[in-house]
Chains A and B, each alone.
Chain A
Amino acid sequence: MHPPSSPAVALDRISIVYGGPGGYEAVAPTSLAVAQGEFVAIVGPTGCGKSTLLNAAAGLLKPASGEVGILGRPLAGLNGDAGYLFQQDSLMPWKTALDNVAIGLEVAGTPRPDALARAAQWLAKVGLAAFGNRYPHQLSGGQRKRVGLAQVLIRNPKILLMDEPFGPLDAQTRLIMGNLLLELWAADRKAVLFVTHDLEEAIALADRVVIMSSGPAATIIGDHAIDLPRPRDAMEVRLDKCFHELHHGIWSQLRGEVLKAYQGTAA
C-alpha cells in the first residue's frame, strides 16, 4: 500500500517538448501536486498546455524532462490508477450506453452478467437508467458525458483526470453536470485534476485553482485555495459573496494571460 501522505499526483519539474529535442516547448518545467482526496482545477488561456499536463499525468504523453509520481511511485507507461474523461466524444459508437459503461469491468475480467448489472446501477446513478440500450448517437451531448462519467467511475479509479469534460455543452447543462460531478465525488473523494478554461466553473467545483500562463513554454503562475464550504451547489455558490471576491482576485491575474494569448494568435 501507498502511504496516505504521498500525493495522488506529483508532477515534478516536468517539461513537454513536441518534435524531439529543440522542438516546440509546450510546457516549461512545471511542478504540481494533487493530494489524495483533493479537487484541483487547472485554468488557463486556450492552447496553454493544460491538457498536455493532464496527458502527462495519464501516461499518454511522456514528458521531455522531470518525473511523474502517482501515489508515491514513479509512473511508467499508462496510469492504471487513473480514470480519464475526455473533452471529445470518446464512447465506442458501436456499443450501447450499457455496454460502454460495462466494458471497463469486462476487460478487467469481471463476468459479463455482473459487469452489466453494475453498469445498470451506474447508469442509474448518472440519471440514465432508461437509456441503457441507446447508442451514443441517439443520446444528447450531456447524456453522452453522463455515460462517459459512469464509464470512468465504474472502475473505481483512485484518481480522476478530466480534460474540459463539459466544454462542448451548453451553459445550463454544464451547471447540472457540475453538480452531478460534485455529488458523485463527495461519495468517496477521489483525487481530481480538472482542466477547464472557465474560471467560474473551476472556483465552483475545486478546492484549489491553479493558473497557467499562456504558451509557448507555459508554466504555473498562480495557486489559489478555494475555501468555500462543502457540500457546495455549483449553481448557488456563484451567488455567494466569497465567490465573487475569489473570482475577482484570480481573474485579475488570469486576464493578463488571456490577453497575451489572444494577442499572440491575433498578431
Chain B
Amino acid sequence: MTELSVSRPKLIALQVLVAVLLIGFWHVGSSVPIFGVYILPKFFFSTPGDVAMRIVKLFSGTMIWKHLWITLTETVLAFVIGSVAGVVFGFWFARRPLVAAVFDPYLKMANALPRVVLAPIFMLWLGLGIWSKVALGVTLVFFIVFFNVYQGVKEVSPAVLANARMLGMNERQLFRHVYWPSALSWMFSSLHTSVGFALVGAVVGEYLGSAAGLGYLIHEAEGVFDVTGVFAGMVILAAFVLLVDAVVTKVENRLLVWRPDAAGRT
C-alpha cells in the first residue's frame, strides 16, 4: 500500500471540499435554472436548504426522539439476541463435528436466502410492533456471529492448545481460557458488520410495515412524495449509523487490547 503523505489539516480540508462540492452541485442543480432547465428538479431532489430546515424542524419536535429510540431498541435487541444465539450454536457446532456436518447444507441454504423475503412472514407472526423487526435483524446477525464463533473455535492455534493441555487444563478450563477468548475475538472483529446488519434489519422492517422508527419516517414521507422528508430521514439515519459505529469502535478497542492490529489502530 502506498503511504499516505498528506498532513492531517490538509486531509480534512480535502474531505470538507468534497462535501462542499457535492452539496454545491445539488444546490445549484436544484435552484438555479441553466438555460431554463433545472438539472435536478426540486420535485425529485429537493434542495439542501430545505432538507437542513426539515432536519432542524424535526429535532425541535419530540417525535423524532421516539422514532430514534424505537430504531435503537430494535437494533440493540436484534444484536443481543442474534449474538447470543450465534455464540451458543457456533460453539456447539464447532465442538460437535457430526452436528455441524448434518446441518451444514441447511445452514448454507438459510444463509443464502435474502432475508428481506422473511419480513412479511415475521410481520404475520409477530405483528407490526418492534418484534417483527427484531426477528429480521436476528436472522441477519445470527449468521455473522455464528460463522465467526465457529471459525474462532476451529482455528485456535494447535500450539496454544497443546501448551494449555500440558499446563494441566481440563476441558472446562480449556473452554474458559482458550476457546472462549479465541471465539470472542473473532466475534468482536465482526462487531461492525453485525451491528450494521442489526440496524439494517430494524430499518428495513420498519420500512416494510410499522408505525414508528426511522424506516417508518422515510417510508411515510415517500408515500406522499415528500422528497425533502425522505432526504432528511436519510441524513438522520446516516448520522445515527456513524454514531453507533463510533460507539462500537470504542468498545472494540477496549476489548481487543491484546490484538496487534487493534493496538496499532488507536
Hey, which bits of chain A sit against chain B, CB under 8 A? 58, 60, 78-80, 82-84, 86-96, 103-104, 107-108, 135-138, 151-152, 155
**B258 contacts A94, C-beta separation under 8 Å:** yes
Choose among A60, A104, A135, A136 the residue that contacts B168 (Cβ–Cβ < 8 A): A104
Hey, which bits of chain B sit against chain A, CB under 8 A? 157, 159-160, 162-170, 173, 177-178, 181-182, 185, 257-260, 263
CA A103 – CA B167 in complex, angstroms? 8
CA A90 – CA B158 in complex, angstroms? 8
23 contacts between A and B (CB under 8 A): A78-B165, A83-B166, A86-B162, A87-B159, A88-B157, A89-B160, A90-B157, A90-B163, A91-B160, A92-B160, A92-B177, A93-B160, A95-B258, A104-B167, A104-B168, A107-B167, A107-B177, A108-B168, A137-B260, A137-B263, A138-B263, A151-B167, A152-B167
Chain A nearest Cβ from B176, distance in angstroms: 9
Return the chain A residue nearest B184 by Cβ.
Answer: A94
**B168 contacts A80, C-beta separation under 8 Å:** yes
Contacts of B263 in A (CB 8 A): 135, 137-138
Whether A107 contacts B168 in the complex (CB less than 8 A), given A94-B185, A94-B258, A135-B258, comes out as yes
CA A115 – CA B106 in complex, angstroms? 47
CA A88 – CA B162 in complex, angstroms? 11
The residue among B159, B173, B258, B260 with the most chain A CB atoms within 10 A of its own CB is: B258
Return the chain A residue nearest B256 by Cβ.
Answer: A94
**B162 contacts A90, C-beta separation under 8 Å:** yes
Chain B nearest Cβ from A194, distance in angstroms: 16
**A137 contacts B166, C-beta separation under 8 Å:** no
Whether A86 contacts B259 in the complex (CB less than 8 A), given A78-B166, A92-B177, A104-B167, comes out as no
Whether A92 contacts B166 in the complex (CB less than 8 A), given A135-B258, A137-B263, comes out as no
Chain B nearest Cβ from A150, distance in angstroms: 12
**A94 contacts B182, C-beta separation under 8 Å:** yes
Contacts of B159 in A (CB 8 A): 86-90
Chain B nearest Cβ from A18, distance in angstroms: 15
**A90 contacts B160, C-beta separation under 8 Å:** yes
The residue among A90, A94, A104 with the most chain B CB atoms within 10 A of its own CB is: A94
**A155 contacts B168, C-beta separation under 8 Å:** yes
**A137 contacts B157, C-beta separation under 8 Å:** no
Whether A155 contacts B167 in the complex (CB less than 8 A), given A88-B157, A89-B159, A94-B185, comes out as yes
CA A87 – CA B166 in complex, angstroms? 14
Whether A82 contacts B164 in the complex (CB less than 8 A), given A89-B159, A94-B182, A95-B258, comes out as no
Contacts of A82 in B (CB 8 A): 166
Return the chain A residue nearest B181 by Cβ.
Answer: A94
CA A157 – CA B202 in complex, angstroms? 56
Contacts of A94 in B (CB 8 A): 181-182, 185, 258
CA A86 – CA B157 in complex, angstroms? 12
Contacts of B177 in A (CB 8 A): 92, 95, 103, 107
Contacts of B169 in A (CB 8 A): 107
Contacts of B170 in A (CB 8 A): 107
The residue among A89, A103, A152 with the most chain B CB atoms within 10 A of its own CB is: A103
Contacts of B173 in A (CB 8 A): 107
CA A83 – CA B166 in complex, angstroms? 7
Chain A nearest Cβ from B162, distance in angstroms: 6
**A84 contacts B181, C-beta separation under 8 Å:** no
**A84 contacts B166, C-beta separation under 8 Å:** yes
